[in-house]
């Protein structure tokens, strides 16, 4: 009986979650700041493309050449993701693999500002180190 009640409570909690805010879905233009251990942080203008379906958001344009995508999962105005993406670095002619370990994607309450923070490891192109990336877009 106790197990049945516990399962019923868990089912009610799962049904109560809201889908990801559809306002996430657009091309966000803003500034990215990337910091790689041992190097000075670099800031640059960037674009993050997001499409939303239910509680999933597909983030694309993650690499400098416009390739690379990941799927974030969340509800309301926040989401997170994990995994790896490989980016070809045209100027260096090599491939850099970014493995995301801690991530947060949030949308402001007025749906006008997107903030993304991520950290993980970077390997390839002569690197094997940690990185952080911060993006703010509108």
Q: How many CB atoms lie within 10 A of CB 134?
A: 17
Please tell me what DSSP assigns to residue 114. Answer: E
The CATH class of the 19-137 domain is: mainly beta
**What angle is formed at CA 102 by the lines to CA 126 and CA 89, rounded to 5 degrees?**
30
pTM, two decimals, is: 0.84
Q: What is the pLDDT tens value at each position of the chain, 138 positions in all?
A: 454 443 343 333 444 579 999 999 999 999 999 999 988 999 999 999 999 999 999 999 998 888 999 999 999 999 999 999 999 988 889 999 999 999 999 999 999 999 999 999 999 999 999 999 999 999
How far from each other are the two terminal CA atoms of the chain, in whole angstroms? 51
Domain extents for the chain?
A: 19-137
The closest of 130, 122, 80 to 98, measured between CA atoms, is 122
């Amino acid at each position: 009986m106790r197990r049945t009640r516990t399962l019923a409570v868990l089912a009610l909690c799962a049904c109560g979650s809201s889908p990801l805010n559809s306002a996430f879905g657009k091309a966000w233009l803003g500034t990215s700041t990337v910091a790689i251990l041992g190097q000075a942080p670099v800031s640059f203008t960037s674009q993050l493309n997001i499409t939303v379906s239910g509680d999933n958001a597909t983030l694309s344009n993650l690499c400098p050449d416009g390739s690379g995508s990941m799927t974030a999962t969340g509800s309301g105005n926040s989401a997170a993701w994990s995994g790896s993406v490989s980016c070809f670095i045209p100027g260096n002619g090599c491939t850099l693999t970014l493995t995301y370990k801690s991530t947060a994607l949030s949308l402001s309450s007025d749906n006008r500002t997107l903030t993304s923070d991520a950290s993980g490891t970077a390997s390839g192109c002569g690197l094997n180190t940690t990185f952080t990336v911060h993006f703010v877009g509108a």
